[in-house]
Amino acid sequence: MLINLVFILGGFIVIAGGFCVFFDQAVLTRRGTIYRVKTDRKRVALTFDDGPSPVWTPKILDELKKADIKATFFMIGHHVQKYPEVARRVAQEGHTLGNHGYAHSVLLYYTLPEIEEEIKYTEYVIRETTGCTTRIFRPPKAWLSRSIKKKIKAMGYDIILWSLNSKDWVSFNHKHIVRYLVRRVRNGDILLFHDSGDVLTTEGGSRNQTVKAISLLARTLREKGFEFVSVEELMYG
């Protein structure tokens, strides 16, 4: 009986893991958010979630500087408090900062007043640390209800999701990541990467393939006539 239970649980974990890898849950919650911008211009925005990381964010910043790309970083408030010097470097190098909540908790578990408190506190942490005010918000794991969307918009935030998910947290080879994105990219796409975490956590893990992907993606998309801009420039530029 115990052996059967172990096999059943193991099978469930495999199925759940496969679902997370091959299905993008943001598809279910995109309505009423910004996940791609309609434009005739060949522009895309690179975004990075879950940082800052003392290990991977600096490496990603180095690669972005070499490639002359300004990206958008959706930061977790707790990580900003823990690694303030890294958060400040992101801002100082001209990248856009976004609010990703304080603890990367799924908002569906919160009341609306609790959501407002968390977003405002994260905004306070980012502003006090970097001097930057953020008006864009990305919900952890993209899970949102209609009432939560309404609440966040009433607070003055644009809700930013994504149209292309690199799945870099699965640690695919960087060439696979770039090939997957290049085959699907369209004008106005918002691309999702991560500068911290792995499959189960928002810290630790390896973003080595993400670091390697940046220069190859930049070169390949520029050869196709694309330019890289921040989310806000994509929206309003």
The residues annotated as belonging to the active site are 49, 194
CA 125/CA 100 separation, integer angstroms? 12
Nearest to 82 by CA among 126, 115, 40, 21: 126
Cβ contact 107:129 at 8 Å: no
Nearest partner of 129 among 89, 88, 161, judged by Cα: 88
Beta bridge partners of 75: 51, 99
Q: What is the amino acid identity at position 120?
A: K
Q: How many CB atoms lie within 10 A of CB 9?
A: 10
